[in-house]
Amino acid sequence: MQNLKSMHGHAISLYRAVFGLLFACHGAATLFGVFGGAVGSRGGTLSPLDWPGGTAALIELVGGVFVLVGLATRTSAVVSSGSMAYAYFTVHVSHGLLPIQNGGELAVLFCWGLLMVAILGPGPLSLDAAIGRLRAPGTTTTALRAETQES
């Protein structure tokens, strides 16, 4: 059991990275038509300036990349989660209440999964954690530069 506890942080990092990658791929498919992505009933791609679909796709791409690498993780995850909640309640709910009825399963899964990322944090294998280690108490930017120049 102790062995599982030691893997906790790495599991969070892996979950965050996989979720971010999937979210970024979803946005890239919508914006650029990659990964077999044809969007909506019209097919094709959307401009990031098209409201709300293109803007949502831009949030998916940028937020997904930020979550993937673990940079501004909590903020990116909350904004991304909110965009999926918005999508569910403005697009899907009008076709039925339950996600299985209205085709909103992906929006719900991304919304709640990204909310979990925001709650759990980035984990130890992230840019946020690396930046935090650089800003650890007792270290300053000049001290870090001096150490780097001495090496």
Per-10-residue mean pLDDT for the chain, 151 residues long? 81 97 93 73 69 89 97 97 95 92 94 97 94 78 48 41
Number of domains in the chain: 1
Query: Could you tell me which of 49, 16, 48, 15 has the C-alpha nearest to residue 128?
Result: 16
Residues 6+ apart with CB under 8 A from 97: none
Could you tell me the residue range of the domain that residue 28 belongs to?
2-150
Residue 49 has a pLDDT of 75
Residue 151 has a pLDDT of 41
pTM for this entry: 0.82
Residue 76 has a pLDDT of 97
Residue 5 has a pLDDT of 79
Residue 146 has a pLDDT of 47
Residue 36 has a pLDDT of 74
Residue 42 has a pLDDT of 56
pLDDT in tens, 11-48: 999 999 999 999 999 999 988 888 776 655 456 777 77
